[in-house]
Chains A and B, each alone.
Chain A
């Protein structure tokens, strides 16, 4: 009885959905003034939602600014951003939805695994893909794929080099998220470079996404190892947990983070502000910088979303301006241009963008050239190291 009920209900639902699906699949026709659709996907729900939301907001801000200023060569930009829950299969579906909506340029996906899956689709279509934040090496494996952020291996290497050059610590401990590709990717290269430079790594500890709230054991081991510097290649949400727990365990250690650490001041809040004192991080974007580009961006972002932009938002903001620069370089005046993809991809290696995450040019392998800057937190603000 119940079975047949559910079945009928199922069939009805399936029918409704199919209709809804077809209805939603009509291509949006260009009306009057031309619009170029930029599509992207990222986790807007689930554990990693804050990354996707930051990218969406940062990109939207840039799109609005560009449109207010009259668009690019008279073409308005439009951002379509879909949820993929950081899942590769969902990201591919999201890409397909966006393709049906007439996307011309893709922002790929926010997280690495999802983005790698999308590159395969992008390759088939030849479309320009510029991911703001997917840092794994393979995210730019094809000629038409580019990125704004650092590649994982580079960050680890920079960090080890920086620690060696500036003698930040003599006994180094490493704590990383084994289940996260970003974190373990940076860690692998950090360790390799550190060994090359003869850095003294006294303790190496890991955690996973199944147990990332309690770090007491890892911190105890680090404390016992007598380390004076803790390298933390992961995001500020977990870093906040680690730092508060280390403080309550009475640890006195210097924290060293990479670009994911940006946002720690806001996360710790006023109540724990004193704990962020002295944190060093290596990042291309510093929200508290005095650079006028950055000041304007941070102000606009805070006004729009009442939150301080993080690394993700800054990368996305730069991605949109990079697309604008590529369109101008390629002289795109018609979004239905048959050679739009080729022109845009070719333009990518010719442009130079002075964005909020630094001055960038792109090589044919899709990697941006930009430098990381080391900053240290003093009195609740970043200052140059």
Chain B
């Protein structure tokens, strides 16, 4: 019984990671950059909900919409101001800028909201399902379903729509895409808008699952989601989902059966071993090097 309930809690933790990793991998896949600030956009999204509900008294659905819009605007703004001028620079320059943006969002959040943890309103409250001794949290189920739906929608969007095709083209070769008449700037902006919207959704689910949000809440889940995205093969959308779930389950099972203290070391150890055998992650594309 313990095993089952640990497995289920692992899935629930994993679905949060997956939700965050989806945004990470989306941006990486198209814009080819590690957006280290992604975790902090989650935090902004969650704070937006808190402000909307507690201060402005908006209904839950409206608060969610406002939060998503806020994050989209923020994401696109960040891309335009901080990342766009660096599109031709070394990837590391962009990485450092992203880290700078991450620090910036954290310190602004601390100046505005203070350093303490704020309790998150109960946006999603699903009843707990009880089967014998087994308790399944309703919220976890919703998170899982939502991340699965988002995964399917994203895959379809990228595979079937015109915009999706443009994204794939940009991801393959920016210059060639431009020559084919694709508006690269617009495509990348749309990518960031989608990525940030996903971050807002992740923020809402994170907040309702754990109940407390502070200015630095986003950084650890951000790193874990980055790990999940790489685990599944960064750039691959089903990979992010798989990586997230796998990470959550491994983390919880190693806590339960090996050591609570060393669970992080074990998670990272498994990651290293997987990458040794599959150097581009579970579902990552193998890139053949051209001579």
Contact = CB atoms under 8 A, between A and B. Distances in A.
Q: Do chains A and B touch in the complex (CB under 8 A)?
A: yes
Interface string B56-79: 000000000000000000000000
A99 to B, nearest CB: 27
Given A213-B220, A224-B2, A241-B210, A218 B260 contact: yes
Interface stretch (A71-79, A201-209, A338-346): A201-209
A237 B117 contact: yes
Contacts of B214: 237
B12 A50 contact: no
A268 B252 contact: no
Interface in A236-253: 237, 240-241, 244-245, 248-250
Given A49-B110, A53-B115, A237 B137 contact: no
B135 interface: yes
A2 B2 CA distance: 58
B6 A217 contact: yes
Interface in B103-128: 107, 110, 114-117, 119, 121-122, 128
A170 interface: no
B264 A220 contact: no
Nearest to B263: A211
A249 B13 CA distance: 14
A244 B211 contact: yes
A46 interface: yes
B212 A237 contact: yes
Contacts of B122: 271
B261 A210 contact: no
A293 interface: no
Interface in A1-41: 2
A365 B252 CA distance: 44
B6 A220 contact: yes
B255 interface: yes
A384 interface: no
Given A206-B260, A207-B260, A211-B251, A267 B220 contact: no
Interface string A162-200: 000000000000000010000000000000000000000
A208 B261 contact: yes
Contacts of B116: 50, 237, 267, 307
A224 B256 CA distance: 12
A249 B2 contact: no
B216 interface: yes
Interface residues of B, number: 37
A375 B110 CA distance: 32
Contacts of B143: none
B9 interface: yes
A4 B246 CA distance: 46
B155 interface: no
A269 B54 CA distance: 12
Contacts of B185: none
B76 to A, nearest CB: 27
B284 to A, nearest CB: 25
Contacts of B128: 248, 250
A271 B10 CA distance: 27
Contacts of B183: none
B279 interface: no
A216 B8 CA distance: 10
B215 to A, nearest CB: 8
Contact of A269 (B10, B114, B119): B119
Nearest to A214: B13
A355 B251 CA distance: 46
A305 to B, nearest CB: 10
Contacts of A46: 216
Contacts of A45: 107, 110
Nearest to B8: A216
Contacts of B135: 249-250
Interface of A: 2, 44-47, 49-50, 53, 178, 205-208, 210-211, 213-214, 216-218, 220-221, 224, 237, 240-241, 244-245, 248-250, 267-269, 271-272, 307
Given A214-B9, A269-B119, 18 more contacts: A47-B216, A49-B115, A207-B260, A208-B263, A208-B264, A211-B251, A213-B210, A216-B12, A217-B252, A240-B211, A241-B212, A244-B210, A250-B128, A250-B130, A250-B135, A267-B117, A272-B211, A307-B116
User: Which 4 residue pairs of A and B lie closest in terms of their CB atoms, listed nearest first?
Assistant: A216-B9, A49-B115, A217-B255, A210-B264
5 contacts: A53-B114, A213-B210, A217-B252, A221-B256, A271-B122
